[in-house]
Structure 1
Amino acid sequence: MKKWKVALIGCGSIADNTYLPRMKDIPEAELVAVCDIIPERAKGYAEKFNVPAWYTSIDELLEKCSFEILMNTTSIPAHHEINMKALRAGKHLYSQKPVGLTVEQVTEQMEAAKASGVKYSASPIHMLRDDIRFAKKLIADG
């Protein structure tokens, strides 16, 4: 079984309460780095989740870290620029949605993924959240 090297960019609440705590439960994934524009947050998440490296920009992450998959949990306006840099660098991408602010941005990302020969996915995480699943059950149960 291949073990994929994963880096996460965007150390906000969704990373803290949804993504990072569950990474240890994915045997095919090895979290090798976190990245955030706020240095204290990146360093703190690295320490909290036992991640070996932390960075403060996508450029630094791409330059200094060996990884295969980028998980983008940054703010929505930052998604396109970060996604494009990762895709052009040949990284597989799992991004929070929306991945871009316009159809043109999303099309550009899809074309970049195809040109680089990498996988590109938008997050379906909300349908898997415990609170959303509980609400769905409540509705289904009347």
Structure 2
Amino acid sequence: MNLDRATIVTPDLEGARRFFVDVVGLTEGWRPPFGVAGYWLCSNDRPVIHLLDSTVPGHAGRAVPRIDHIAFRIETPAEWLALRERLQAADVPYQLADVPLSGETQLFVAPGAGVVIEFVMASRGAQT
């Protein structure tokens, strides 16, 4: 089983789109004309993040969406360093953490209220 996508409901739709496109490096993809504003953001031409405007009233019987965080695996040291450079250029604060006994490094960023994104890479390639 693989993660297909994550949906993030946000009051700052444009700010979240800018973060995922300009800083993370996803691309804006085609999205069906739903009745609520949003974006489908892609990695390798496949939608991995669905952004939805949270200002739309909820539906009866449907739980309020909540995500603690989502994580993206970074495969190469070059990708890791490029991400960190884009975060620094955009003046986006982040925190680094080593995962005990795993050989991995995590990078946590909060691009908007109530949203946390994790990026993870094997420590041997992640230069802190």
Tell me which interval the TM-score lies in, with the shorter structure as reference length: 0.3 to 0.5
Give the structure-1-normalised TM-score: 0.30
Q: Which has the higher contact order (CA 8 A, sep 6+)?
A: 2
Between structures 1 and 2, the one with greater helix share: 1
Between structures 1 and 2, the one with greater strand share: 2
